[in-house]
Every structure is written in structure tokens, then in C-alpha cells.
Structure 1
């Protein structure tokens, strides 16, 4: 009883101090709460127990609100209603519980929200969504059906950045009417079998397919795409070539764990960054990209890349399969070093599977000495 009384007394005292600070702030017509670190603001909100105090703290102060819950029976609805009513612009709800948290409907009719990030949350499938100013939509670890994501797209006409991570229930994704959308990330959405996007505004696309799942990808209408990242165990050379032929402005390509990809040919005057990460069957890729400046490779096979007209290369990151003694032979890198000769400044980062150290080279003579 004594401990409970002490705790209640402490909370009452804190609330009294905060109410006095709010009154003083009003008298001075100043708002110092935004100057506090975000985790301090969250702690203050957590300790308040009167709804009026919550409203007073958030007004004119909290434009960005994040709340996380991993245990206990905390009533999130009160907090979310409070910040929505006070016109918060960026809302992030992170829930790590056995069951997903059902978001209140007021979240999806806010005219002030510009960013919504949800983790471990649940949304009614047929909910009416009217987020007319939302620009960023990130959903992680949620059950998202095709019907629900279409409701989001219809209710978020200005959205620019969509990311779906570790979601299930979504089988088909089709986007053709979001004229502001410029970035899409789909990461291991289990059950996703088809992606069809036709938007000239799209500049960045990333797809990470869950193991053993085949996902048909059509980006034929995305002619202004500049960044493409694919992690797909079913990607073949033909599928890749049929895909990139649609992107005349492509500047960055990342291929990760595309284990059916045996050959790779890139002929481009726009590609500046290329990463090939753990594509197990890939042999002797051919790269003709005169403006390639950054190259990254990680694999279990020896590197013999045919690089034609590469004159602007200044950075390379190589993670190579080493010999039994743990060293990479200089002969295996000599062909690669020749590509740096025409440009003045360059950097090569070399690591191996047997040696944990990462070595950065900027002179050929040092590489020869170490090898």
C-alpha cells in the first residue's frame, strides 16, 4: 500500500508540475516542448493520466508522434485519438504483441497526416480511407489483402512512398493511378504472386521475394525508373533483360541472391552503381557501362567480369571466396585494377570469407604487397 501511495503521489506531483509549465508557457506565449528530445516527450505523455493534460501537451507541440508497445495492456486508443485530434502530421505505431492491434477508424480520416508507419497493426478490410494529404505509407508485419491495399491507394491520392514489409494476405498488387508515387518497396510479402505497376512517376523500386515463391513482375510503364533492387531466387537472365529494357534512365541496379541467374549482361550509358550480391550460379557477367562509378560484388565464385568502356570507376567493394590460406590472389584482381588506371582517385574495399578484416586500398602497389 505504501509503494502504491508513493507512486500515485509521484504521478500527481509530476502532473502538477507539467500543468504549471503549460500555464507558464501560455503566459509567455512560448512553446519549449518541441525543443525536448522525442523520447522525453513520449515519457511525459506516458506519465500523464488526465486526457486534458494530453491535449494540452500535444497542441502546437507534437507534429511527429511514435508509440511502441511490446507488453502489457496499454490503452493505445486514447493516445492515438488525442494526437489525431491535435492534427499530428507524422504517426508511427509499433506493436509487438501476440495479436495485432486494431487501429481506430479516426486514423484513416485525418486530413493532416502526411506520414503513417504501422507495425503489427490490424485494419478492417472494408474500412473507408480518406488520407488526402498522406505522402508516406509504411506497413510492416500486418495482414493486408488486395482489397484493403486498393482502398489505401484510392484514399491516398498524393502518396509518394509505399513500403510493405513482411505482410501476408496480399496476392496481387496493381498500381496505375497514383500520379505522385515515386518509390515502392515490397519486402517478403508472403503470398504475393503478381506485381503490375504502370507509372511514369516511379523512380525507385525494390522487390524482395520470399523463398520458393514465384512473383510475376511487370514494370513496363515505368520508363523513368532510376533505381532497381531485386532479390528473387527465380530471376533468370531472360526475365531480367525483358525487365530492364523498359528503363532508359536506370542509374542503380542491385541484384541480391538471384540464384537462378547464370549470366548477366548490362549495356547501359546511364547505370552508375551496380551491386551483385550472392548470386550463386552467376558466371562471367558482361558490363558495358561507360559511366559506372561504383561496383559491388559478393560471391563464392572467382570474379571474372568483362568490363567494356569502363572509364569512370572510382569505387569497388569485393567480398571474394578466398583460398585455403585465407588470401585473395593478386592475379584474380589484376584485371579489375586496370579499370581504375584512367581515373585519378579510386578506392577498393576487399573482404573475404575466411578473414574478418576489411581492407581499403587506394594504391596498386599496396595491393600487390599484401597479396
Structure 2
């Protein structure tokens, strides 16, 4: 007996909701029960890729000329969506979600009638989530007024290919239930419409805007330059991309993510009144004058700030960060930095991903703090790398990721041979090394590993490597071979450096599923032309 099909329809709908959209749709071919279940399923998610591919679309723009020139894949999509919506409407069934993605291949003006009809039906049967992505370069679809009459809407996402005209200024909006509003690449007839549109979502908790556009006085599409958000007392999360000037007055805002349109031009970002802010992510910003003062004021104006992430930022040479509340700090591609001083007794996670290697100091730190450092390095800069690692307290350095630049024989070796190690270096949980050395230079390999293992003792070390298996074989033999490499930094009369006592506990790799593989078996099946990852777990 098919006991699953005999289950109540609510349970069958729950099963469909847990499947990917395409797989859920295929269940309609199983039986009449499943077909009826699918057609009464309150979620309608349609992606153009389910009905046609780029090869199915007529060349050029011929499919814009009319129905006789329209390709069958689009007709099938239109027929499917219309039938699904009409069946729900005629049976008095609700619609929880309606998601439509037409891709870049379809001119939305070709299906204007159907889009208007679908939005009207969805609004009438109480759609709660409406997501429209037309993403077309051929034309724009004027958002139907009925879209703002759906009192049931809790989430509204509008993507590219959609235009919002001036008639929305005069029409009564009924978006009083919308909690999530997302606008991506939408074209507005005027800047005023944007704030008017947003202000009619008084319960909005999440707002996202990504590179939206307006008409200028020449009726050309230009990027939105400024945005003023005020009166949204429920607003908790804001993500704004591609706007040069932003003013936010939302005292209950918790999360803010911002990136300007022009990365190299001055920007304005005012969120001083957002005193409840807990998370701040800033991307692609030009240098702020007196960045030290900016950081000091940031934490004094926002006393609850727990997470700060700065991405692609031109810093001053030194920054001082002091906060009793800060728990997560992430600096990525921040140029010019030479010194970072952190006084954050409750900091739990610090991540630094930059080409520059500043001296990082912790005035006060939590016993639970974990530090992750990601950087580029070549032999000439190994000294500064080692100094940076040794400066970080041993108990908090959790992982180190290095990209080893190709170094040619004779370049930078003199400084490496000066290294003397008198004690075991700081222990870290994981060392990840991405490298592409010349497979013929074992002279390079020996100095590379000697320096790395003299700078830090990793519990695990991973190599991401695209140069065959020569280096991996060298590393294995260096630690496990009967005659290990002479240490380049010790005289022949001295005892071996500590790292000669390292043992390999087990090995894993990206192209074999075994947790503890045989090394020679791995070499035998090593892919010739792909980048692979091999991990060694070590112990003293």
C-alpha cells in the first residue's frame, strides 16, 4: 500500500515544501493524488530554467514581435502559471508564496497582460510572499497597482525589469503588513516615489536596496544617489548597496550593511540615531578622515555594537579599537595598516584577511577569543609574518591561511638562512597553505617548510595545490622518511630543531573519501590538472 499518498493533504504539502522547487513539481507525475496535491500546494515558485534554455530562444529579439513568434517554452510557462493560479482561485484556496523569475531572455513587455493577471489573482487569494525577478535588458514592466493592494503581503521582493511609475504617488497603498521589503535594480519614475513607497510599510523590519535607479530630467536612467529613512520604528535590519548618500533615523535598528555606488568617491552615511545597533558591515569605502577618531566615536555612539566587519577599506597606518561590548571583529582587504591595537575584553572572534601584515596587539582579551589570519606572503616578507604570528598570544591564534607567492631560486633566501629557533613556536589549530611552487626546486620546498614550521606549530596543516603531487610527496618524506631533511637553520653539531620530531597521524584529501588514506594510494590516483586539498594531522 502507498501509505504516504494516503496521508492528509496538509502533511503532503509539508513534504512538498521541504523539496527543491523542481523536484516538488515532478511529484505531480506520480499519481492523481499527488497531482491534486501539487495543484493545491499554496507555494508557486517558477524559474525560467524549468521551461526553456538559451538554445530554445529565437535569435535576436524576434520573440518580442508577437505571439506567432513566441517560442514554445515561454508559452508553456505562461500556461502553467495561469492554470495553477486559476485553480487555487476557483477552489478558494490560499496562496502563501508566489515567486517568479523570467531571467534575461524574456522581454517582460511581451507578457505584460499575463503579469498583470497573475498579480491580480495572487492579491485576491491572499498572497503573503511575492518575489518578482524579470532581469531583462529588453524592456520594463510597469508594476501593477494591484500589487500594493494585497493587505496579506508580509514579504515583497521586486527585481530588475520592473518600473514603478508616478501613479503610485496618488494611489492608496495597503502594504501595512509587509515586514520584509527588498528592491533590486528597480527603476523609479522619481526619487520621491522611493521614500513614499517605503514609508507605507510601517511594520517593515528588514529593508534591502541594491543598485536601484531613477529617471533624471533627460528621462535617462541614473543610479539612485541619496536615501533618507525615517519613521520606521520597527526597522531592525538594513542592507543598502549602490547609494552614495544615506541617512537613517531608526532607533531600533540592529543590523546595518552598507556599500556606496562609487568606491573611490566621497560618501555620506549617517546612522547616529541608531543607538540600538549591534552589527555593522561596511564595504568598499574611501578613506575616512581621522579614522582613529571615527572608531572611537563609533563605539561611544553605539554602545551595544557587538559585530564590526570592514571590507575593502583604505585605513590609516594605525588604528586603536576599544570596546567592552565588541564580540566579532573582521578586517578584510584593509590597506595601509601597520599597527592594530585592540582593547576588547569580550571579543570572541577576530579575523584579518589582508595583504599587509601589521603588528596586531591585544591589550585585553577573552579566554575564548579565536584569531584567524589570512594573508599573502613571499620569502622576502617571511620575517614580518613570523613577527606578527609570535606577537599574537598563543592561546588565541586559531587558524592561519597563507597564499605563498611563486618565488624563484636565489630570491630572498639570504634572510631565511639567518633564522634561529630556540623554542617551540606558538601552537595553532590549523594552518592552510595555498601555493604553486616550481616542481623542480626542492631547494625552495625545504626552506619554505622550515620557515613555516618554525613560525607556528599546527595541529593540522592543509595544502591547496595545483602543481601535481611533487610538493606533497616532498613534505611527507620530510616528516616520515628515514633520512629527514637537514635543518637549514641549525649547524651540524647542534641537535635537530623541534619540528623534526613531528609525526603525521593521518591524511585526508579532497579527491578521496577515506578519513585516513594510504599515502602511496593517494599519489597513484592524484589528478593531473586540478587544484586539490590535502590535510595532514600532526603531533609532537
TM-fit CA distance, 1:303 = 2.9
Instruction: Report the counterpart of residue 10 of structure 1 in structure 2.
Output: none
1:307 aligns to 2:346 (yes or no): no
The residue number in structure 1 matching 2:184 is 140
* Equivalent position of 1:365 in the other structure: 457
Q: Deviations over 1:96-128 (max 9, x none)?
A: 211332211111121011101111121114513
Residue of structure 1 equivalent to 2:85: 54
Q: 1:31 to 1:311 in 2, by over 3 A?
A: same
Q: Does 1:74 align with 2:111?
A: yes
After superposition, the Cα gap between the structure-2 partners of 1:52 and 1:338, relative to the gap in structure 1 and judged at 3 Å, is closer
Kindly report which structure 2 residues correspond to 1:173-192, keeping only aligned pairs within 5 A, or say none: 173-189=227-243, 192=244
Report whether the alignment pairs 1:332 with 2:388. yes
Number of residue pairs matched by the alignment = 338
**Which whole-Å CA distance do the structure 1 matches of 2:235 and 2:370 have between them?**
31
Say which of 146, 159, 165 aligns to 1:124: 165
1:38-84: CA deviation from partner (whole Å, max 9, x where unpaired)? 559x9699363695652214653531111011223334222222222
Give yes or no for contact 2:142–2:164 (8 Å, CA) kept in 1. yes
Q: Would you say the 8 A contact 2:295–2:320 is kept in 1? A: no
* Residue 220 of structure 1 pairs with residue 272 of structure 2: yes
State which of 148, 163, 166 in structure 2 corresponds to 1:108: 148
Normalization by structure 1: what TM-score?
Answer: 0.79
Structure 1: segments with no counterpart, 5+ residues: 1-16, 341-345
Query: Map of 1:262-273 to 2, 5 A cutoff?
Result: 262-273=317-328
Please give the residue correspondences for 1:9-48 in structure 2 after superposition, counting only pairs within 5 Å.
Answer: 33-34=40-41, 38=45, 46=77, 48=79
Return the alpha-carbon distance in structure 2 between the equivalents of residues 35 and 52 of structure 1. Answer: 13
Tell me whether 1:208 sits opposite 2:262 in the alignment: no
Q: Residues 209, 94 of structure 1: CA spacing in aligned structure 2 closer, same or farther, 3 A cutoff?
A: same
With structure 2 as the length reference, what TM-score do the two structures score? 0.56
Distance 1:102 1:248 in 2: 44
Q: What corresponds to 1:252 in structure 2?
A: 307
Larger radius of gyration: 2
**2:348 — aligned with what?**
293
In structure 2, relative to structure 1, the CA distance for the partners of 1:87 and 1:199 (3 Å cut) is same
Gaps of 5+ in 2: 1-27, 52-75, 215-223, 407-428, 433-452, 460-497, 503-540
Determine which structure has greater relative contact order: mean sequence separation of CA pairs < 8 Å that are 6+ residues apart, divided by chain length.
1
In 2 relative to 1, CA 50–102 (structure 1 residues): closer, same or farther, beyond 3 Å? Answer: closer
The whole-number CA distance in structure 2 between the counterparts of 1:47 and 1:103 is: 18
Q: CA deviation at 1:260?
A: 4.5
Aligned-partner SS, 1:257 = strand
Query: Is 255-264 or 97-106 further displaced after alignment?
Result: 255-264
The answer to whether the 8 Å contact 1:135/1:159 transfers is yes
Query: Matched residues in 1 for 2:135 and 2:165: separation?
Result: 19
Change in CA separation of 1:53 and 1:67 when aligned onto 2, cut-off 3 Å: closer
- C-alpha distance 293-361 of structure 1, shift in aligned 2 (>3 A): farther
Cα 1:154–1:39 shift into 2, 3 Å: closer
Residues 127-172 of structure 1: per-residue CA shift (max 9 Å, x gap):
1332010001111112345312211232111001111112234333
> 1:119·1:140 contact (CA, 8 Å) conserved in 2?
yes
Which of 340, 346, 352 is residue 403 of structure 2 equivalent to? 352
Which residue is 2:463 aligned to? none
- With over 3 angstroms needed to count, the CA separation of the structure-2 counterparts of 1:159 and 1:287, relative to structure 1, is same
**RMSD over aligned Cα, in angstroms?**
3.5
- The verdict on how the C-alpha distance between 1:332 and 1:118 changes in structure 2, with shifts beyond 3 A counting, is same
